[in-house]
Amino acid sequence: MVRINRENRSAFYKVKCPNCENEQLVFQRASTTVDCVVCGSVLAEPSSGNARIHAEIIEELSE
């Protein structure tokens, strides 16, 4: 039987760019490359399953 209440399997991360220290939200399972909106450096790259995060994770945001 299918469980009606399923826990979240992924989350958003608040990350800090290593170059300009801009804070930005990144999805844990990002399927595209995520660039910093200020300086353009790569913050996350898609990988099998979870994204590879290249920035400092400040906070995990989940329900």
**pLDDT for res 30:** 92
**pLDDT for res 62:** 75
How far is it, in rounded angstroms, from Cα 13 to Cα 22?
A: 13
Query: Could you read off the pLDDT of 12-49 as tens digits, one per residue?
Result: 999 999 999 999 999 999 999 999 999 999 999 999 88
pLDDT band at 8 (very low <50, low <70, confident <90, very high): low
How far is it, in rounded angstroms, from Cα 63 to Cα 58?
A: 17
Identity of the amino acid at 4: I
Most distant CA pair in the chain, distance: 49
The angle at the Cα of 37, spanning 32 to 60, to the nearest 5 degrees, equals: 65
Please count the other Cβ atoms lying within 10 Å of the Cβ belonging to residue 13: 22
**pLDDT for res 17:** 96
List the domains of the chain with CATH numbers: 12-61 (2.20.25.100)
**pLDDT for res 6:** 59
pTM: 0.79
